[in-house]
Amino acid sequence: MVEQELAARIVAEVDRGFDAQVAFTRDLVRYPSQRGQEHTAQDFLHDAFAERGLKMDRWTIDVADIENHPGFSPVNVSYDNAVNVVGTHRPRDETGRSLILNGHVDVVPVGPMDMWTTPPYEPRIEGDWLYGRGSGDMKAGIAANLYALDALKRAGVQPAATLYMQSVTEEECTGNGALACLTRGYHADAVLITEPTHDCLVRANVGVLWFQVEVRGRPAHVYESTVGSSAIIAAYSLINALQGLETEMNAEKGDHRYFEDHGKPITINVGKIAGGDWASSVPAWCRFDVRAGIYPGTSVEEAKQRVEQALRAVCIDDPFLSNHPPSVTYNGFTAEGYTLEPGSDAEACLAAAHQKVRDVALTDATMPAYLDARVAVLYDDTPALVYGPVSEHIHGFDERVSLSSTREVTRTVALFMADWCGVETV
């Protein structure tokens, strides 16, 4: 651990900079960085990183650079605005261990606006909470990474190792943003991602598959509906089968380390549905989009087969579907889960920083959601620590992040950085 007097100075500087950090986070939340429009938020971060004297790299993800990597997920949208930003700090003497501080700038759609108390991209503070889409997931984390570095510098020191400050896109749909950083050559001795984990360290997570199922029916006027076949009713059967698969997979949790005690590790979510053209016509088509969790250790191929088998089983018993099977298209995440093996130096270092700041031991948790940390753990053999503030309603409405928790996380990140990288005077 960094010596006592310096640690106290760093913590004091985090506190001194915190009002500015909150203002910065609010500014970042104002950018509606949903998929396809991440570039303006990335420009804002690019300038903020550059102001700190970091050496900047800003690029648009090129599918050709990553599509042959085993961690690649298929893409069906334009990447014109899928911009990654990395700022590099180099020390005078490289004596410490290098570090990637990572966060994702993309946010998910807001849903019906009238369900928000105040508009999602007009951040507001009430008590300890900062509200807004992306406040928790995870713009507070990106700001914490940057302001932790600021705090070190104001305390008169800087990391004595290479530090990469990363802001990536595509975390909410493919994981291709973090993957593009790896294939571009960014590697360090450890990775820290400040996702909103409620001050816990993520021990394991699930992989994720995205796919779209399309059913074609036989259209007919409703007066002779018996000659038709409804694609929407057929979709119901297929969705039921996927729910059955979810139950089956959750019943297997005892076979998966770190998932045994989780309430519901696997969710197969039908997140979008559309179908039919006319109330008085038997619908000729129905399409629905699915996100399925998969246990770490399950390959993408195995998971795909299991999904397709579950759908096929419905078709075999159905007179219409057996002749008109649905199509399945993988249109996003085809990402495997990971486990962070206990005992790494990086984890010990984070635990020590957390203990110092919070005066309680660092706990770990299993996360039943996709995380970019899988890129480092699975494809770069590098410990990736996912640890960040308390937040609520992420992906819902009135998303919010706790400011007091964000401050504690920033202190922890700053002390972790100082300890892991070592320090030299500015």
Alpha-carbon distance 370 to 47, whole Å?
Answer: 29
Stretch that binds Zn ion, among 27-35, 134-142, 235-243, 374-382 (CB under 5 A): 134-142
In the complex, minimum distance from the CB of residue 104 to Zn ion, in angstroms, rounded to a whole number: 6
Interatomic CA distance for residues 18 and 402, integer angstroms: 13
Comparing CB distances to Zn ion, the nearer of 13 and 172 is 172
- C-beta of 170 vs 195, nearer to Zn ion: 195
**Tokens 């501080």 label which residue?**
101
Nearest 5°: the CA angle 24, 27, 29 is 110
Residue 106 binds Zn ion, judged by CB under 5 A: no
Look up residue 398 and give its amino acid: D
Does residue 38 interact with Zn ion by CB under 5 A?
no
Q: Give whichever of 267 and 355 is closer to Zn ion, judged by the CB atom.
A: 267
Query: Is residue 138 reached through a cis peptide bond, with omega within 30 degrees of 0 on the bond before it?
Result: yes
Of 137, 199, 347, 399, the residue at the interface with Zn ion (CB under 5 A) is 137
Segment interacting with Zn ion, rule: CB under 5 A, options 135-143, 301-309, 359-367, 396-404: 135-143
Query: Among residues 178 and 286, whose Cβ is nearest to Zn ion?
Result: 178
Return the amino acid letter for 395.
H
How near is the Cβ of 172 to Zn ion at its closest, in Å? 7
User: Which residue's structure tokens are 């957390």?
Assistant: 354
| C-alpha neighbours within 13 Å on the C-beta side of residue 123 | 25
Using CB positions, name the residue nearest to Zn ion.
Answer: 137
Binding mask 60-89 for Zn ion (x = CB under 5 A): ------------------------------
Comparing CB distances to Zn ion, the nearer of 137 and 246 is 137
At closest approach, how far in Å is the CB of 145 from Zn ion?
14
Cβ count near 59 (within 10 Å): 14
Q: Where does residue 268 fall: left (phi above 0), alpha (psi -120 to 50 degrees), or beta otherwise?
A: beta
Residue number, 273 or 369, with CB nearest to Zn ion? 369
Tell which positions 175-214 bind Zn ion, by CB under 5 A. Answer: 195
Cα–Cα distance measured from residue 331 to residue 221, given in angstroms and rounded to the nearest whole number: 33
Nearer to Zn ion by Cβ, of 57 and 195: the residue is 195
Whole-number minimum distance, CB 33 to Zn ion, in Å? 12
Nearer to Zn ion, 346 or 367 (CB): 367
The distance of closest approach from Cβ of residue 9 to Zn ion in the complex, given in angstroms and rounded to an integer, is 31
Instruction: Tell me which amino acid residue 424 is.
Output: E
Structure tokens given for 146: 């940057």
Sole window of 5-13, 39-47, 131-139, 285-293 interacting with Zn ion (rule: CB under 5 A):
131-139
Show the DSSP H helices in 30-169 as ranges.
39-51, 63-66, 140-154
CA-CA distance, 388 to 25, in Å (whole number)? 15
In the range 232-271, which residues lie near Zn ion by CB under 5 A? none
Please check whether residue 136 is in contact with residue 389, taking contact to mean a CB–CB distance below 8 angstroms: yes
Pairwise CA distance, residues 206 & 212, whole Å: 20
- How near is the Cβ of 342 to Zn ion at its closest, in Å? 23
Position 373 contacts Zn ion (CB under 5 A): no
Nearest to Zn ion of 138, 201 (CB atom) = 138
* Among residues 29, 138, 143, 152, the one that binds Zn ion under rule CB under 5 A: 138
Q: What are phi and psi of 215, to 5 degrees?
A: -110, 135
Binding residues for Zn ion, per CB under 5 A? 137-138, 195
